[in-house]
Chain A
Amino acid sequence: AQSVAQPEDQVNVAEGNPLTVKCTYSVSGNPYLFWYVQYPNRGLQFLLKYITGDNLVKGSYGFEAEFNKSQTSFHLKKPSALVSDSALYFCAVRVLYNTDKLIFGTGTRLQVFP
């Protein structure tokens, strides 16, 4: 079965430090991978996606993600965290040609402390 796992419910990091939010996936076929962010009382906002090509994908607000096929991972990273990055982050996967749907992870709450 297709699935996405976000192993950490919460990630805490000090402002200015690098951050990583982890995501692993399990799909048959080539995956399309996404990261979305949700600020309090708001809908999800698209951050970045991997379709094909370079394994390092750059997205909005200085975030980037690294696709690793051998480890079936798509971790979200940022070199220097901001307090304003504090939010709920969702990883999602869509399988090419097999479905029109996204499968979302359970979310990771990122807390950046001043």
Chain B
Amino acid sequence: NAGVTQTPKFRILKIGQSMTLQCTQDMNHNYMYWYRQDPGMGLKLIYYSVGAGITDKGEVPNGYNVSRSTTEDFPLRLELAAPSQTSVYFCASSPPFPTDTQYFGPGTRLTVL
């Protein structure tokens, strides 16, 4: 049981490049989330999903897109990378209420130059 896995661990992008951050969970959780973590700012929710085919915006969705075609996978797409997107990105999953403890992946450190 691997839990939540994320790839890649590190990535450096040039301004304007695109990339997809991968997230997979093997716990059959309905809910999945993408956060970004900036120093001194805590975690900000980018997008979340309550099940396959259903996604919704979080606090900071601009510049990102997501899809949820399966229960297991929840990729995050950056279309035109900007320096402001330099951050550490965490994927998480949870079963629905009333358990709703979130399980986090190890993170992807992204730098945009």
Contacts and interface: CB of A to CB of B under 8 A. Distances in A.
Categorize the interface residue count of chain A.
Answer: 20 to 34
A105 B102 contact: no
Contacts of A104: 35, 42-44
A107 B39 CA distance: 9
A43 interface: yes
Interface residues of B, number: 25
Contacts of B45: 101-102
A99 B25 CA distance: 22
A14 interface: no
B43 A90 contact: yes
A63 interface: no
Contact of A43 (B98, B100, B105): B105
Contacts of A41: 106-107
Interface of A: 9, 32, 34, 36, 41-46, 49, 51, 90, 94, 96, 100-102, 104-107
6 contacts: A41-B107, A42-B106, A43-B4, A100-B50, A104-B42, A106-B42
